[in-house]
Structure 1
Amino acid sequence: MFHVFGDSITKSVALEEDGNLRTVSDNFIFRATKAAGLPLNNRSLFGATLAKGRQLLKRFASDLSPGDTVLIAYGGNDCNLPWDLISENPELPAMAKMPLADFTLQLNEVIDELREKGLKPVLMNLLPLQPNRFFKVISKGLKADILLNWLGDLGAIYRWQEGYSLAIMETAARKSVPLFDARSVFLSHPHYEKLLCSDGMHMNDEGQSLLTEAFTEFLKKID
């Protein structure tokens, strides 16, 4: 059995042109596991953090059997900052939903806990953001000028999120855990922004197709 615990990326949420969110059922994980003949149990949840993922792992512990593979794919929400508070009080310290050091520590703990149960952990890093589009989303209804001044430049959004992705990669290497490098798959595209929805963070159908190919090959390597 192939289990997935992640956020809206592995749940495969996409933003429609009318601004509504939809869940892509025929997504890259579904296609790749089907091609590999792997039974799939996707427990991904929109907006989930690693802390929420740990709760779900406990809640659905009975689903997991020794020898099963478990993909852990969090970080995109963990790194999110309190933009509304920053907009009103930019001089005060701002903390991510889960600070990077805590995120890294907990990720290591999850890996150890899975291995203790005879499970095979797999990690996935973060898709790259398109900072201009992402900023429009997070600044909507807020004081965009204050947020931009606090950031220094829009590239700071990209670099901040990238820090969490690097932590995932470093953890995978240190713990000898297979890593699906989704970020490099997107960045290998000459215009990766074309693979993302208008919100600059969720993938569109073209992005789904590209990840399907890459994830299918990845599953062959870890089988």
Structure 2
Amino acid sequence: MKIVCFGDSLTRGISYVRGRLRIIKENYPNSLAKLTESLPFVEVLNKGVFNDNSDLLVSRIEKDVMSENPDIVLIEVGGNDCNFHWDEVAKNPEGDHEPIVPIDRYLENVTQLVKQVQDKHITPFLLTLPPTGSCQILQIHRR
């Protein structure tokens, strides 16, 4: 059984120590691999990328996930989607600012990721969907 962990820096493994971002080995894919190490038929792959958002996950799902022919995909994304273009905010702090990936497109992207995985008869799991924008709840219907 192959499990692909697919997401942003939370998947890749990052921590903020003494004012600097640090890559850490104690990430959730590594913890999952340790939990399953007594099961030789389970392989866990970390396909997390720093600063990724749902637009970028959609663009790399074929190369990083589908090409691995996994049985399960853990999808974790959202924190970078609700980030802002901070240079624009600094220039006009009182203005209206859209997140990098607006909530409607975020929901479309996550739905598309799940559908692509399901279409290949792979089981998707959504992890840590932080609230973006107006804190809407994502509902994906089972087929």
Please state which band the TM-score falls in when normalised by the shorter chain: 0.7 to 0.9
Kept after mapping to 1: 8 A contact 2:29/2:45? no
Deviation at residue 170 of structure 1 after TM alignment: 2.9
Q: Which deviations, in whole Å up to 9, do the C-alpha atoms of 1:113-161 show, x marking residues without a partner?
A: 11111111110124xxxxxxxxxxxxxxxxxxxxxxxxxxxxxxxxxx6
- Matched to 1:69, the amino acid is I
- Matched to 1:44, the amino acid is G
Deviation at residue 165 of structure 1 after TM alignment: 9.7
The number of equivalent residue pairs is 137
> Sequence identity, in percent?
25
Q: Does 1:162 align with 2:131?
A: yes
Q: Does 1:64 align with 2:69?
A: yes
Kept after mapping to 2: 8 A contact 1:125/1:165? no
Per the alignment, residue 34 of structure 1 pairs with 34
Kept after mapping to 2: 8 A contact 1:4/1:70? yes
Describe the shift of the 1:112–1:176 C-alpha distance in structure 2 as closer, same or farther (beyond 3 A).
same
Which residue of 98, 103, 106 maps to 2:101? 98
Deviation at residue 24 of structure 1 after TM alignment: 1.3
Q: Does 1:44 align with 2:48?
A: yes
Per the alignment, residue 88 of structure 1 pairs with 91
Describe the shift of the 1:123–1:43 C-alpha distance in structure 2 as closer, same or farther (beyond 3 A).
same
Q: Which deviations, in whole Å up to 9, do the C-alpha atoms of 1:59-96 show, x marking residues without a partner?
A: 2332124xx10011110000001222122123543111
Per the alignment, residue 124 of structure 2 pairs with 121
Unaligned runs of 5+ in 1: 127-160, 178-223
- Normalised by the length of structure 2, the TM-score is 0.82
SS of equivalent residue, structure 1 residue 93: coil
Deviation at residue 107 of structure 1 after TM alignment: 0.9
Describe the shift of the 1:93–1:100 C-alpha distance in structure 2 as closer, same or farther (beyond 3 A).
same
- Output the aligned Cα RMSD: 2.3
Deviation at residue 176 of structure 1 after TM alignment: 4.4
Deviation at residue 7 of structure 1 after TM alignment: 0.8
Unaligned runs of 5+ in 2: none
- Normalised by the length of structure 1, the TM-score is 0.55
